[in-house]
Amino acid sequence: MSSHEHFGANADRAPDPTPRTYRVEILIEQISEPDALELLQELADALAARGHALQGGDDKHVRSVLTLSATQWPEELVTDALHAIVPRSSPHPPDLEYYTPN
């Protein structure tokens, strides 16, 4: 189970497996435009890997669109979303694979 904060209208329910169109919104406080574009490229790669992209050749069927817009950071994180995830940093244990006490 994820250690991230999960809330929203359906947070306590299993996700609906029915395929439909969803809008996924991500608000990030204080990120530069180059860093935001790099993140969008990573998300686009992840979507393509899951089949949500143009398939190549003459395929013109758009399966996903990522957009970048400037916005004001909300005073309160109030949402009517089905699910809302707030990332939580968690410490990672040190990699002791090559550690020797001597």
User: What's the pLDDT at 1?
Assistant: 47
Average pLDDT over residues 31-50: 96
Helix (H) or strand (E) holding 34, with range, is helix 33-49
pTM for this entry: 0.74
Nearest to 27 by CA among 90, 76, 91: 76
Q: Residue 92 in 3-state DSSP?
A: coil
Cβ-based neighbours of 43, under 8 Å, separated by 6 or more: 66
Reading phi first (left if > 0) and then psi (alpha if -120 to 50, else beta), residue 62 is in beta
Count of CB atoms within 10 A of residue 89's CB? 7
- pLDDT score of 98 more than 90: no
